[in-house]
Each structure stands twice: as C-alpha cells, then as structure tokens.
A and B are shown apart, each in its own frame.
Chain A
C-alpha cells in the first residue's frame, strides 16, 4: 500500500507480528444532508496481551472504527471507502459474510456501552450467553447452559447458578455489563474491543469492571482495544494510546509518555481542561469552541480553529501523523515545539 507511507503505523513492533492491523481506514456516511467523513485514514496495530486505548470526544470516529472491525457498520448509510483491516494477515474487509461471522465472537468480540439495549429483553441471560456455544461450537442446550453458568462465575456474577434463568431487566447495570463481558469472552477471543464499557456506570462499579477486564486480559493474553473519552481511565489501564480528533489519529505513543508530555495541542488542551480529583480547585483551562462538524471539516488541520498555536500554515496544510521522537507520533506541524524537544 502506498498510503502506508503517508499514514505510518501506530505500532511497537514490526508489521507482521501484530494481531490486528488497521491500515489507512476510511469510512463515510452518505446522508440526506451530505457526506459525513467519520474516519479519515486511521492506522494502528494491536499485539497480543496489549491494551490500546482509543481516546476521543463524541463524534471523533472512534466507535465507527470499532464497528468496522467487527463488520457491524450500518451500511447504508456507512461505507468503507478505503483501507484494510488485517487480522492475522487476512483482510477482514475482503472476506465473505460467512467468514466474517466465524471470526466475529470467536476471534474478535466487542462489549458495548449500553448493556441494557444490547441484551435481548425477552431471553434469559443464560440463553444469550449459551447461544455463543450453540452457534459456534454446536453445544446442546444443556451443555450451553452449564457453560453459561461457568462464564457467569468467571465474570463474578454472584450465585450464577440461580441467576442463569433471569432476564436482563432483573440485573443491575454493573451486572448486565458483566453479562455482556461473559458473552464477549465466551469463545476465548484473541481480541476484545470495549466500546465505552463503563460510561453508563457509577464510579465504584466502573472500578470493578475495569478490574475485571484487566484480570481477564492477564489470564487469557487477549489484546484489548479500549474506546473511551475518559483520560483518567486510559491512564489507569492502557499500555498505548491513540488520540482521535475529527476522524483522524492525532497522537500516539506509550500512555505515560503521552500524558507526561503531550506532543499535540489537542491532547495538551484535553489534559488541562479536565477537573482532577487529585487537584484542588484552580481555574480549569478549557479548549475554546466545540468539536467540528464531520460533514464540513475545517481545511488543513482539523483542530486549527480551536488551537492556541495555530499559524497561517495550519488552515492550508494538513499535518500528517509523523514520528516526533522514537515511539511517539503526532499530527501537528509544531509537535517538536509542543513536546519541547
């Protein structure tokens, strides 16, 4: 791919060792109001056992990229207009529906934000978890139920045996999210995508769920893609981070390195704007303005209307994601200055 020259990989290791490679992915939505450019050429890789956080605000394209990997993008209106998603070297986008279905759940699975609307209200949770085994492994009803109880134990749902016949509405929000996780890890996938898994949950429950995900990852060695808008959650669990803005990755690197010294004014602005529990009230420093409309992106760097560093170069020339220091990439003309190197 020629485009991989202009869109370098976000990766630790050399190409080929990675489990999942997303390469110059473009997704657009064709709506009555015009074409919405949701994902504009993003590239990243994920290795086994690694946690990659994709951080961004609503409408930055982070969930759309996850849906595309899972092959569950609503199409129409969504269309993949370019790029590849390689799982163990094979392009998911070129596979037949049947091949994709076999990989889904078995190799790559997903946990959604809203567990209540992702579970079917008229089936028991036991049936919904067991369905994974019946569909993919050909288990009998009884075996599937047994396997469901084991999984519910594993995600620490108390008295799993009694609760396997309960319906989703009989569970609390945190327990429902555990059911979702049970379904997602049922077939020991190599990759788990968690799309805002704790946004709808209370903070003590959020801590429990993040703890559980970390533990499952250590046990199974799966790669985890965590999609979120919460910087502090990212700081707590991710190895690497990709910051998205307006459908592009604007900064990547090891989590502590990025948060220690951001190389992109957007990341810097986000960090300065959040209230932090470990800091007493001083004035917050917000980023001016609001995230851009994806149907009418600004010219040049999409962040320039909100950027305190913008120069005449920014509205005319799109900065590409490039290496600033080893292991760190940023899409800013002035990344070196921002980073202070």
Chain B
C-alpha cells in the first residue's frame, strides 16, 4: 500500500519540479514549487517522519515560499521578465549543462542502486525521539542554529535597507 502512495507522491514531486525549472514566469514556477514541496511532505510522512512532514508544509511551503512570493510581487516583475527569460533559455544554453547533470544523476543512481542492505521495513521515528536528540546531544548545534538565524535577521535588515547611494571615498569626485 505504501508503495503506490509513494510512487504517486514521487511522480507528482518530480513532475512539479520539472515544471518549476521549465517555467518562464517566476510566479508559476513558485506555485509549482509549492506543489512539489507538498508532494515531498507526503513522501516524508511515508518515511516515518510525521513531524518533519508537518515542518515541511509549515515552514517550507508555508513560510519560505510565501516570503518568496511576496518578494516577487514587491519587485513587480511582469511579462517583460518572462519574455526575457524565454530569450535566455535557448537549447544552446541548456543542452550541455543538462547532459552533464544527467551524467551526475546516472552516477548517483548507480551508486544508490548498489545498496546491498537486506530489505527491511521503514522504522517510524516519533517526534519525541527527535526532540530528545535535538536538545540532548545536538544542544550546541541548536544554539549555533539560533545564532545563524539571528545573523540572518540582522544581515537581511542591514542589506535590505534602502540607503542613499554613497560612494567610496576613493571613488568620489
């Protein structure tokens, strides 16, 4: 039963991601990405991580993507940027990087398929265990993550501020 659900979710995720990378309009791409993330959340749930699946929906699809969407709206990118995108994305541009990445994918598939572990059932890890690990052995990493987020806030505030254009003193005059 898990098999079928997984394949459907995986197919949606892959197709949605392909749509993301082929869209010219940034808004469409973002919406497809939300779909893809939701599909991945299903996969995560199937892999015995309900708490992580919830986080995926809330933080990724909910918070980060909405941030991006609002940002794009703020920049007010319209048809022109889509046309521009269309002009940039020529086969001449994308054919070689894509082939290279497919080679990489082939290698990854080969390596993953060499898995000689005996088949075993998926083990469910409940959120309590995650919480115990997070605030037990990973305490220091959690604190560092807190500092990272703080740095992100300060950095975003500092960089995002609209400053009057000041030239370096060597570039003046």
A binds B: no
